[in-house]
Amino acid sequence: MAKSVKIKDLLSPTEYKRVSGDESSMEREVFVADINRPGFELAGFFKHSDFRRIILLGEKENAFIEEMTKEAQLACFSKLVNDETPCIIVAKGYKTSDILKNIAIKRNFPVFETDSATGRVSIDLQARLDEWLAPETLIHGVFLNIYGKGVIIRGDSGIGKSEIALELVKRGHQLIADDAVELYHIGQNIVGKAPKVLSNLLEIRGIGVIDVSKMFGAGSVLSKNNVDLIIQLERWLPSREYTRIGVEEDDVTEEILNVSIPKIVVPVTGGRSMSVIIESAVMNMQLKSQGFDSSKEFVNRILSNIKSKEH
């Protein structure tokens, strides 16, 4: 089922003044996260027009409308004001054309006016629509903000994800979600947050569910963050080869909603401080993003040492 958002939930009455349409017209739904600046439509060209988009009339569009004949306006607005178009917004303090207003009133169609600049309205609406209509999925794991990076910790049930998260929170990092993480593809990023019912909560075996914000303070939780890294915890197997130097294999990634997220596989065994290891993994990722690769630096030192002994 396609995601949608109702006009009444998208447009704030403090920002947008409704000049036509009653309360039932506010139930219209938006299914497409794009804005239509109808230059071609005002000129009478409707081929390939997608009427599912919100129509935004800015300075250029309103200047063009003022030059149009009444007959041209009547023909154009009769097509734009239909059952598919969610609404029309007239920006930058312009007044709605009388012909447009009359057609909208007759068809119970919502038209809004705003004093905000056209570009600002477009950016604001695009951001809201991207968030409301973003593709989404749900994965199991713990999501934390560690040194400003969004890190999802995954692993088999009982491997200790929540206990590691508790230790990381005690070390000053922030919990975003435990057990289930809602993921959304917004813009170029994957954004994660907790389901409302699990917000701020952490389940620790033997103790039960704890409210992290009440136990460690409001600064110990975060509502959402971009996903920057996935850490996969695996039970240590003597027969398996694990990364030691860091140049053994190409960078590992995991696809989430068609976006590649860097991934690290970390073996879990007794005696390892997993919170420190995860902190180190995040810091090492930050160094790599700044152009410093510890693994390559180590290899270069060995090569330099070999060359110095050859001379």
Asked if 179 is an active-site residue, the reply is yes
Asked whether residue 119 is marked as a ligand-binding residue, the answer is: no
Asked whether residue 217 is marked as a ligand-binding residue, the answer is: no
Choice among 149, 161, 173, 193 that is catalytic: 161
Q: What is the DSSP string of the chain?
A: ----EEHHHHS-TTT-EEEE--GGGGG-EE----EE--HHHHTT--TT--TTSEEEE-HHHHHHHHHS-HHHHHHHHHHHSSSS---EEE-TTPPPPHHHHHHHHHTT--EEE--S-HHHHHHHHHHHHHHHS--EEEEESEEEEETTEEEEEEE-TTSSHHHHHHHHHHTT-EEEESSEEEEEEETTEEEEE--GGGTTEEEETTTEEEEHHHHH-GGGB-SEEE--EEEEEEE--TTS---SSS-SSPPPEEEETTEEEEEEEEEE-TT--HHHHHHHHHHHHHHHHTT--HHHHHHHHHHHHHHHHH-
Asked whether residue 250 is marked as a ligand-binding residue, the answer is: no
Asked whether residue 155 is marked as a ligand-binding residue, the answer is: yes
Asked whether residue 89 is marked as a ligand-binding residue, the answer is: no
Asked if 309 is an active-site residue, the reply is no
Choice among 173, 178, 179, 193 that is catalytic: 179
Asked whether residue 203 is marked as a ligand-binding residue, the answer is: yes
Asked if 161 is an active-site residue, the reply is yes
Choice among 140, 170, 214, 296 that is catalytic: 140
Asked whether residue 58 is marked as a ligand-binding residue, the answer is: no
Asked whether residue 162 is marked as a ligand-binding residue, the answer is: yes
Binding residues for ATP: 155-162
Residues belonging to the active site: 140, 161, 179
Binding residues: 155-162, 203
